[in-house]
Chain A
Amino acid sequence: MKSPVYKRYLALIFLLAVIVLLLPSIIRTFKGNDSPPGTETYLTIKISNLISNEKSIPKEDTLSYGGRIFPYYIGYPTLISSLSSITKIQFIMLCRILNILLGMFSLLIIYLLIRKLTNENKLKLLILIIIVLSPPFIYLFSTCNNYSILVFLSLLAFYLLLNKKLYLILSTLIIILLGLFSFYIPLIFLAVIFLYIIFKDRAKIKWFIITTLLTLFVIIYYNYLLLNLPLFYERLAFSVKEKGINFAFQSIISDFGGKFGISLFTIVLSLFGFKKLWINKYKILHFYLIVILLVIISFYLTESLFYLNIILSIVAAIGLLNLIKARWQSNLIKTLLVLIIICGIIFSGFSYINRVSNELPNREIIRGLLFLKERTNTNDVIFSHYSRGHWINAISERKNFMDDYFAYVPNVNARWEDSQKILYSRNLDDTTKILDKYNIRYIWLDNDLKKSLWESETGLLFVLKNSKNFKNVYNDNYVEIWRYERTS
């Protein structure tokens, strides 16, 4: 039964969600930096621009790697560019609005789904609070990325799947549509649905087979017939992951630096939740299998954390409620413990918001990129670390040497090796040979990059300082742009 108090709390949680999702942008704006954080937004904007300019699926991305075949998923960028042409709102603003809307709708669907699971109002509210404050949720719907719509659509598809038969066709259509947004996510989602159907709803097995075949067809058609992508791409011979004892493990926990990892407190609480659920033993075997599957996949594809986070948040809420309800010998400890856990969840969420709001690019980088846009020729290639590639493409609208979309780049390993030579060689001849080979005109450096790449003034820093072939054309004590003058 829905009490007015419950409804009020529910409304408050949705309001909290809006605030949480807006906070990173608000904090950045207060710091005088209204650019979106991270790199995904800029990739999306670049693709949206390409689609908007070509009015169809582009055959080539002229900016990435100095020019390459178009290998991207068009779903989200197409939505952005179409909506932008209708509403005349800028891509970035549109992205922000759309993402918050997607976040709210996703939360609504999660609410509708958990309503099917439990009648307990407290549990429902706890689940929603834990989800709203979870780093993956904040990341998904506060930065402009392809996955926000993917998660929304998959939640919607799953919700429709649980409803009347009539909605099954709609669910199929949505799952098929996922193939235009990603390669792996629809497959992970289908694997989750498979486990659910095989254990809980075998009557839908035919539906599942048809949907899977159609989705596979869409994925294959889009990737290999429409985009004409080669069947395989060059396997990376270099590691692009961050340093750490075990990055695969580290990346699934946000408090240990995972980009959109799950909060440690949610994980710990979910252990209590699983303990409670284990009372039912194997009655919800499918649920355990889904969790195990997602945990294993998340070691290799961190994107599956978006799904895992929702599931673990539900289990964590069960754990927390169980802790609250359990008979405690000491009420003092119970009160303190619940307080600590709530603080932990809030701390995790807000520390993540703080992290997102402090992410690059900052004001100085944007100014530097705009300098490149204004003062360089459209065909100039800008050399920098691959982590700066999408910014150079999207803001400066210039060709980058490398970015982090490595798939389907011809000779990507050779290019990586050349970039390493440029970065770490002190030999001017070696460096200029490679710069000439790729027709590089400018070199971009910023303080964060310097700090992460070099421990002292060596390699490229040494070459830049000691050679007359390089002219420092921009320096604001944070960003340095050097022009390379050919000798001949």
Chain B
Amino acid sequence: MKIQISKEYYLLFLIFAIVLGFRLFFIFQSDNFSDDKAYFHVRHIDYIRENLRPMIYDELSYGGHNILYPQFFHYLLVPFTLILPFNLALKLIPAILISLTVIIVYLISKEITKNKYASLIAALISGFIPLLINETLNSVSIYSLIIPLVFLAYYCLINIDKSKFYLISFIILSVLLPLTHPISFLFILSLIFYLILMNIENKKVDKLRSESILFSIFITLLIGFIIFKKAFLQYGFGIIWQNTPQELLALFFKGTSIFDAIYNIGIIPLIFGSLGIFYGFFREKKDSIFLLAGMMLSILLLFVTKLMDVNIGFIFLGICFSILSSLAFSKISSYITITKISNLKNYLLAALLILIVLLSILPSLTNAKKTMFNSITNEEIEVLEEIKNKTPNDFTILSGIYEGNIVMAVSERKNFMDDYFLLAPDVNQRLKDINLIYTTFSEAIARDFFNKYNINIIYISQRTKNYFNIKEVSYIENSDCFKLIKKNSIAEAYEITCI
């Protein structure tokens, strides 16, 4: 029997291939990852590969502290690292996972619109959300997995009454989400908003769907409480801020404007998505639209209450807008068909595609270049490897806060601070002190801190200088207390000898 694959699936595969190709093109331009956070996952995956169990106490981070982190993502990647070269697996698999989002977006859009072309356009747009490129390109990003999982869960929930397959898939996804990332709490919040919206609109929620939502809420709560038990007891409700230092929390929303939203989400999904939500919410009143509206409302609530990283919120909003834009495309297309300009439909489609290239793909390209430009360089790795080779194992390295993970991963030494704050000691004080050490002119002040925290090595890269807005650490050059370990055009490291 000859299996016939329809044209739409070829096109969908083409879109998937374009999105994946776009990512791979950039990924293979660098041997290293784009951001420090990737090295957090690299260390965890490496640890599981060696010990088969998750790292629950990190001996290097902050000199040693407990780590509470859902480990499904790490366990998922481990088998691939055994088949493929370690770095290749960690670059390739997350890229494939995040690229799969376009297929899920297509499926949801088609479920909403029943229009395959509108859904394909939505899928294409979702693959080129500039901020999504920023956050996930060339990185072992947890969002590469959690984003497709969340939207797959929505897809299963939309179709839950159609077959048992969707029900079982939804149950499995409801278990996997909290095992992957705390963003699962956003998912259940969105489901609660969905129920509220349905109630407000006097619409009856399908019984099976409400049962599944109830299940999802309870399983997320249970798994969340088991994983984060210690943190809940320590911070109570404060856990939602994850012990992030006040200074950094304030930066979460600093300078975020409507123009940022337009640029980061993309103007096409924003305009057509808004039209879609207007039409879907007020005219069609479809369950699936309410579901996405629930997600958008919960993100807005978390924005207003400053409980969510604005970038992550924009990514989820961007995908929701992409899906909803399919509804606008579909309606506009149907409308055009019954007007006198129906013969220009193909030209209009071409114009839309050009607009997508100009307003979504080009900004994504710029962002991708910027991300790759800011990738961890070989020079940085070289200095950190030199530290590994030349210094004792129990040394502590001072680095910029967003370099803490790479310092641990490459040099295999204790760091002073990194950006995993949950259960970390004295984060506010350490952040203040780290700023002071890098920016002070006084060697005496700096040495006080080196003594206080028993810091043995100071690591300075271009990244550190940019972060602290300094040209150099002023007290190092003329002092006898700092012995150069390695210096190149990008980074340098000194052993502190006067402690």
Q: A residues touching B (Cβ–Cβ < 8 Å)?
A: 242-247, 249-250, 255-258, 264-265, 268, 328-330, 332-334, 336-337, 340-341, 343-344, 347-348, 351, 355, 451, 455-457
Question: Which residues of B221-253 have CB atoms within 8 Å of chain A's CB atoms?
Answer: 221-222, 225-226, 229, 232-238
Q: Contacts A249-B237, A257-B232, A336-B215 given: A455-B426 contact, CB under 8 Å?
A: yes
Taking a contact as CB atoms under 8 Å apart, the answer to whether A256 and B215 are in contact is no
Q: A246 to chain B: which residues have CB within 8 Å? A: 237
Taking a contact as CB atoms under 8 Å apart, the answer to whether B218 and A257 are in contact is no
Taking a contact as CB atoms under 8 Å apart, the answer to whether B211 and A330 are in contact is yes
Q: How far is the CB of B177 from chain A (nearest CB, A)?
A: 14
Partner of A456, one of B171, B225, B238, B429: B429
The answer to the question of B219 belonging to the interface, with a C-beta cut-off of 8 Å to chain A, is yes
Q: How far is the CB of B187 from chain A (nearest CB, A)?
A: 16
Q: How far is the CB of A459 from chain B (nearest CB, A)?
A: 13
Q: How far is the CB of B101 from chain A (nearest CB, A)?
A: 27
Q: A249 to chain B: which residues have CB within 8 Å? A: 237
Taking a contact as CB atoms under 8 Å apart, the answer to whether B215 and A355 are in contact is no
Taking a contact as CB atoms under 8 Å apart, the answer to whether B236 and A268 are in contact is no
Taking a contact as CB atoms under 8 Å apart, the answer to whether A340 and B215 are in contact is yes
Q: Contacts A243-B238, A257-B234, A456-B426 given: A330-B222 contact, CB under 8 Å?
A: no
The answer to the question of B350 belonging to the interface, with a C-beta cut-off of 8 Å to chain A, is no
The answer to the question of B283 belonging to the interface, with a C-beta cut-off of 8 Å to chain A, is no
- What count of chain B residues pass the 8 Å CB interface test? 28
Q: A265 to chain B: which residues have CB within 8 Å? A: 221-222
Interface of B is mostly: helix
Taking a contact as CB atoms under 8 Å apart, the answer to whether B236 and A245 are in contact is yes
CA distance A250 to B226 in the complex (A): 18
Partner of B211, one of A329, A340, A355: A329
Partner of A343, one of B222, B229, B232, B425: B222
Interface of A is mostly: helix
Taking a contact as CB atoms under 8 Å apart, the answer to whether B218 and A337 are in contact is yes
The answer to the question of B208 belonging to the interface, with a C-beta cut-off of 8 Å to chain A, is yes
| Other A-B pairs beyond A256-B237, A455-B428, 7, CB < 8 Å | A255-B233, A257-B232, A257-B233, A328-B211, A333-B171, A344-B218, A344-B222
Taking a contact as CB atoms under 8 Å apart, the answer to whether B237 and A329 are in contact is no
Q: Which 3 A-B pairs have the closest CB atoms?
A: A250-B236, A455-B429, A455-B426
Q: B233 to chain A: which residues have CB within 8 Å? A: 255-257, 355
Write the chain B residue with the least CB distance to A337. B215
The answer to the question of B7 belonging to the interface, with a C-beta cut-off of 8 Å to chain A, is no
Write the chain A residue with the least CB distance to B207. A329
Interface string of B324-360 (1 = CB under 8 A from A): 0000000000000000000000000000000000000
Interface string of B391-421 (1 = CB under 8 A from A): 0000000000000000000000000000000
CA distance A246 to B238 in the complex (A): 9
Q: B residues touching A (Cβ–Cβ < 8 Å)?
A: 167-168, 171, 207-208, 211-212, 214-215, 218-219, 221-222, 225-226, 229, 232-238, 425-426, 428-429, 452
Q: How far is the CB of A253 from chain B (nearest CB, A)?
A: 8
Q: B229 to chain A: which residues have CB within 8 Å? A: 255, 351
CA distance A89 to B426 in the complex (A): 46
Q: B208 to chain A: which residues have CB within 8 Å? A: 329-330, 333
Q: Contacts A330-B211, A334-B211, A456-B429 given: A256-B236 contact, CB under 8 Å?
A: yes
Q: A333 to chain B: which residues have CB within 8 Å? A: 167, 171, 208, 211-212, 214-215
Q: B237 to chain A: which residues have CB within 8 Å? A: 244-246, 249-250, 256
Q: A348 to chain B: which residues have CB within 8 Å? A: 225
Taking a contact as CB atoms under 8 Å apart, the answer to whether B235 and A244 are in contact is yes
Write the chain A residue with the least CB distance to B427. A455
Taking a contact as CB atoms under 8 Å apart, the answer to whether B171 and A255 are in contact is no
Write the chain A residue with the least CB distance to B210. A329
Taking a contact as CB atoms under 8 Å apart, the answer to whether B429 and A332 are in contact is no
CA distance A131 to B429 in the complex (A): 43
Taking a contact as CB atoms under 8 Å apart, the answer to whether A332 and B167 are in contact is yes
Partner of B452, one of A250, A257, A456: A456
Q: B428 to chain A: which residues have CB within 8 Å? A: 455
Q: How far is the CB of B376 from chain A (nearest CB, A)?
A: 31
CA distance A246 to B236 in the complex (A): 9
Taking a contact as CB atoms under 8 Å apart, the answer to whether A332 and B171 are in contact is yes
Q: How far is the CB of A54 from chain B (nearest CB, A)?
A: 40
Q: What are 13 A-B residue pairs whose CB atoms fall within 8 Å in the complex?
A: A245-B238, A246-B237, A249-B237, A258-B236, A264-B221, A329-B208, A329-B211, A333-B211, A334-B211, A340-B219, A348-B225, A351-B229, A455-B429
Write the chain A residue with the least CB distance to B211. A333
Q: How far is the CB of B448 from chain A (nearest CB, A)?
A: 10
CA distance A257 to B226 in the complex (A): 14
Q: How far is the CB of A6 from chain B (nearest CB, A)?
A: 28
